[in-house]
């Protein structure tokens, strides 16, 4: 089956379903999403799915890289919008500007960490 640009493939839809579940005040990583979908090597493709969803109400700002860095911030209309959105949800950052993953990481398919 082929898909057009207007018709996202099944993997993109599955990524979007996971992103829709990320709780407010939490983040997850591209790799965690890929692993939750059974394709651990597809973190980059997760990024492409998020880029394709940039104009949707999905909380794509809650997806960071494995270090907690805001590698997708260029897709939010300005360099600080992603950080501002996360901070408005109570997400804390480390001194080097990364999300404090110890406090805010949500892993798809695992029970909520407290």
Q: pLDDT tens digits for 40-52?
A: 999 999 999 999 9
Give whole-number Cα distances, 24 to 13, 63, 88, 105, in Å.
Answer: 21, 12, 10, 11
CATH number of the domain residue 100 falls in = 1.10.10.10
Backbone phi, psi, residue 26, to 5°: -125, 160
In terms of pTM, does the model score above 0.85? yes
pLDDT for the residue 112: 56
The reply to whether 4 falls in a domain is no
Compute the average pLDDT of residues 13-42: 97
Q: Is residue 1 part of a domain?
A: no
Task: Provide the CA 58 distance to its chain's centre, in angstroms.
Answer: 10
pLDDT at 15 over 80: yes
C-alpha–C-alpha distance, residues 13 and 32, integer Å: 16
Residue 71 tokens read as 């590698």
Structural domain tally of the chain? Answer: 1
Q: Does residue 90 carry a pLDDT above 80?
A: yes
């Amino acid at each position: 089956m082929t898909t057009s640009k207007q018709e996202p493939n099944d993997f993109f839809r599955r990524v979007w379903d996971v992103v829709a579940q990320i709780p407010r005040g939490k983040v997850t990583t591209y790799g965690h999403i890929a692993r939750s979908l059974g394709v651990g090597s597809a973190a980059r493709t997760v990024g492409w799915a998020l880029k394709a969803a940039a104009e949707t109400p999905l909380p794509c700002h809650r997806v960071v890289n494995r270090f907690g860095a805001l590698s997708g911030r260029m897709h939010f209309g300005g360099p600080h919008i992603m950080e501002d959105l996360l901070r408005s949800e109570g997400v804390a950052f480390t001194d080097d500007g990364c999300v404090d993953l110890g406090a805010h990481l949500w892993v798809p398919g695992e029970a909520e960490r407290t």
